[in-house]
Amino acid sequence: MKTSNRITKTVLIGAATLAAVALTPPAEGAFPMNIETVLIEAPGGITNGDDTVASPQGTYHGCVSYNYHIGKYEIAQGQWKDFLNEVAKNDPYGLWTSNMGTQTAYSGITRAQDAIDPNKWTYSVSDDYKDLPVVYVTLLDAKRFCNWLTNQKLYGTSGTENGIYTISAGDNAVRDDAVWQAGGIALPDEDEWYKAAFYDPNKTGYNMYSTTGINPSSGDTMDPSKANYNNSYYNNGGSPYRLNPVGFYKDYASAYGAVDMTGNVWEWTDSKYSSSNRAVRGAAHNSNAADLAAGSSRNGLAPTAEGFCLGFRVASLEPIPEPSTYGVIGGALVGLLCLIRRRRKKA
């Protein structure tokens, strides 16, 4: 009897501890969605050099001396839909545009009046579109998404206007280094993006293309089976959509494992292209083969640009937590409570 009571007491203490963890808003770990990342390492702690292949603009990229993580995939429409339902019930910042719901070759995020409050919006996306990369997003749209993720990761709160970026700075909103060092989530800058796409630690150098995949030599060759360019996904797959689902070309990821860094959609970076434009990388589904190589897969767009071939992925110094963390705790809590009930019945 005493043994049973001790076990029950231990279980109760464990349950109370898990309950406290589950119910206390954490500084870290309360995260709204799963964003898988890959680790980009500084080889042996030594800074890799810039790629020696100059872009048409005469600049070199890729030199990063620290470890960081980058999104394995481009942010998808299903993730953007979840973001909208959290922060855009009134949508004062225009995070949803009509093109997201009407340009059906590229996007399928729709909105409707909320059933309870007609002054608010709710957003939905069908299974056909949820894994396609989000498009029709401006630079500040993407940075607001990063703020939202950062605030929940670091502070357990939600918000779009401050975090790793101060949105009131407009087009000049830059990454807050202190928040970045603390584990904030941001757009990758050009060097981070470029290294994740083209650097190959196995040969201590850069590939021409970001399609190394399972065969290192394939990073120096390109054909329509490895990436979505010249509308290859649409033409070869017979799809009604011009964009491929994120991860469709996973067998031709970069050497580090990042997928679709060539083709599909151009991606915003956290770097300037010129005094008025921001750098985008990777080319898109409607690009030709010449635009896919490391030295030419770069362009500059106005920060207000949005279109059917422009999306983004995110980066962080730390892995991005999975939303299942607290689901596991909750499951363990339920299990402990069930055990308590069984113990009591036996008693």
Question: Does residue 85 share a domain with residue 206?
Answer: yes
pLDDT of residue 261: 95
pLDDT of residue 46: 61
Question: Does residue 19 share a domain with residue 74?
Answer: no
Give the structural domain span for 6.
2-28+326-346
User: What average pLDDT does this structure show over 269-273?
Assistant: 96
User: What average pLDDT does this structure show over 289-294?
Assistant: 90
Burial call 219-249: b when 16+ CB within 10 Å, e when fewer: beebeeebbbbbbbbbeeeebebbbbbbbbb
Question: Does residue 176 share a domain with residue 110?
Answer: yes
Amino acid letter for position 334: V
Instruction: Tell me the average pLDDT of the chain.
Output: 85
Question: Does residue 236 share a domain with residue 127?
Answer: yes
CATH number at residue 162: 3.90.1580.10
Radius of gyration of the chain (CA): 23
pLDDT for residue 270 is more than 90: yes
Instruction: Sort 260 into a burial class: Cβ within 10 Å, 0-12 / 13-18 / 19+.
Output: buried
pLDDT of residue 42: 83
Q: Which residues contact 137 (CB under 8 A, 6 or more apart)?
A: 80, 145, 268, 306, 310, 311, 312
- Top pLDDT among 218 and 314 is at 314
Q: Where are the beta strands (DSSP E) in the chain?
A: 37-40, 68-71, 109-113, 121-125, 185-186, 199-200, 205-206, 266-272, 278-281, 298-301, 310-311, 315-316
- Top pLDDT among 109 and 172 is at 109
Q: What's the number of domains the chain is made of?
A: 2
Question: Does residue 117 share a domain with residue 78?
Answer: yes
Please state, in angstroms and rounded to a whole number, the distance separating the CA atoms of residues 85 and 245: 22
- First vs last C-alpha separation in the chain: 8
The strand pair at 266-272 and 310-311 is best described as parallel
Percent of the chain with pLDDT over 70: 82
pLDDT of residue 141: 98
pLDDT grade for 136, boundaries at 50, 70 and 90 = very high
Question: Does residue 68 share a domain with residue 8?
Answer: no
Instruction: Sort 145 into a burial class: Cβ within 10 Å, 0-12 / 13-18 / 19+.
Output: buried
Question: Does residue 279 share a domain with residue 331?
Answer: no
Question: Does residue 331 share a domain with residue 216?
Answer: no
The structure's pTM equals 0.84
- Top pLDDT among 155 and 12 is at 155
The strand pair at 298-301 and 278-281 is best described as antiparallel
User: What average pLDDT does this structure show over 154-168?
Assistant: 95
pLDDT digits (tens, 9 = 90+) for 223-265: 999 999 999 999 987 789 999 999 999 999 999 999 999 999 9
Amino acid letter for position 34: N
Question: Does residue 206 share a domain with residue 333?
Answer: no
pLDDT digits (tens, 9 = 90+) for 34-65: 999 999 998 666 668 888 877 666 778 998 99
pLDDT digits (tens, 9 = 90+) for 199-232: 988 888 899 999 988 777 778 889 999 999 999 9
User: What average pLDDT does this structure show over 172-198?
Assistant: 96
Question: Does residue 122 share a domain with residue 11?
Answer: no
pLDDT of residue 16: 43
Residue with tokens 């329509």: 224
Question: Does residue 144 share a domain with residue 8?
Answer: no
Question: Does residue 309 share a domain with residue 224?
Answer: yes
